[in-house]
A and B are shown apart, each in its own frame.
Chain A
Amino acid sequence: MDILITGLLLGATYSLIAMGLNLQYGVARIMNLANGEMLVAGAFAAFWVYTAQSANPFAAALFVVPGAFVLNWLIYRYLLRPLVRRAKNRGMLEVDTILATFGMSFAFVGIMLLAFGGGYFTYSYLAEPFPIFGSPFGLNRVVASLIAAVICGLLYVWIHGTRTGMAIRAVAVDPAAAGLVAIDVPRMSALSFALGGAVTAAGGIVLSTFLTMDASVGVVFTMKALIIVIMGGVGDVRGTIIASLILGLAETAVATLVDPGMTLAAAYLLFVLVLLFRPQGLFGRRAS
């Protein structure tokens, strides 16, 4: 029971990160390996707000989310757009963007090492017990997962209920066809890339309230987000949420029953199972 609830709480926060990556990969077609670094940057901002300004860490969202949005917009516009133009087909674009974002991820890690040093960062916020079904859980985890759930809900409604959201879904299905019905594909791609970055940075703030971070931990989160996106099906919001919950449960189970240092092994196990049995994802349609 403890595993179940802790896992679901963790999974809810993961869904935020995976949602960010899904917007970037599913819509903008950018396999962003620097996604985890955006998350760590958000977490560091929250850490700074809490320790140096002694304010509520969630206040960091006020400047982190718009900041990440603008930064990711600029990255897409000036670094990735040339690659999209240069690529002759989707395969080439994938190779180029993987290499470019891999380089960016190292550059970001380097910048954060310069700015914050190589130590571990953690702070204690809302670290008090909160009873669910009689067992105590960290209030920070509960608050974090609630915030994540609200943001995911808003995103879902926005994507499925507005004109812009529909345009984004159209680009996710087929960029060429979306262009034919007068959707500004480059603009929508830039928008979803920027939005994805902002959502991921928000996920970083949320995660920082209960996880310990260091400058080079980003790649682990990139990995987890990628596994979730593939498990849930690329470009599928519903699948992403369910896959996040599954990963959260699996990780918590492994951490409690085997060893807390083996969480990545749990993620890989799920990844291998998905690759072997449902490579198109839980809800994905088989590619023709």
Chain B
Amino acid sequence: MLLETLSNSSGPSGYEGEVRKIIKSEITNFVDDIVIDKMGNIIAHKKGKGKKVVIDAHIDEVGFIIIGYNDDGTLKFSALGGINSKVIPCKVILIGKNKIPGVIGLKPIHLQSPEERKNNISYENCCIDIGAKDKAEAKKYIKLGDYCVFDTKFNEFGTGLIKGKAFDDRMGCAVLIDVLKESYECDLYGVFNVQEEVGERGAYASAYNIQPDIGIAVEGTICADMPNIPDHLKATEIGKGPAISIMDKTSLFNKEIINEIIEVGHKKNIPYQFRRAIAGGNDAGAIHMSGQGAKVATISVPCRYIHSSVSVCSMDDYTNTVKLLKEYLHTI
């Protein structure tokens, strides 16, 4: 399954090569023209006579990078993108092209002082253990700057749910790939951007070169539908359909486009919900802050536990997101 391949592949911010290759081969036969630009973004063009539209997904996932060695053979590391230090201890990660397994280790609780137990875990207090006996051995296998991703295998579970890593934003990539397989009247650019997680860096460049009229980001977004959370803080909920964003830290979304998407949802009987949070940001922010600007919107697949080792989505939400986006593009 495409989603499975994408989720399992390694591509943290700045090291998107493996994922880029997969996506490029998937879309080659369905687009008129593919360019990999200077930042490493994939810009796929389906020529059309109508408005210039960018549909954007980002290829990178959050991960880690090796920044040093400890004398005992363990490694010092930092995050690529935002990963809360609370979710990192005791996770298995895979390092570099060779996917060398390591474990993120933390001082055991019975050795922590009362203050330490109260304090938050920090990256400085953690290490990556690859089983090397000393620094010299570690250096044999691991270089400074080697990237790491969580070692999580994609799986279907429960009733119609899927779990895996990097749903933010392999969900968006899968949706976009699916969307590119049909034909539309508008002048469509399917853009797979790099380095979104470290500040939408790829998107500024690709948007600048295209100068679209409309930009729509497709994301895997926050979903906090847990039992002890009040409704208004849930942001989105699993099973309630693709989430339409109203505003976030980097964009105020275009109300006309939002209305048009809602109308498509009603007409074609596709469920949708609103993303109720204004936290976070995405490539749409970069798209309208580049060149002449653009009217922007964001549609997302609700994903529980993003920016951790494993996320959860509903297959129905995924399918409905594809449907909603395709049908909306047919109206432009």
Q: Is the A/B pair a real complex?
A: no
A positions within 8 Å CB-CB of B: none
Interface residues of B (CB under 8 A from A): none
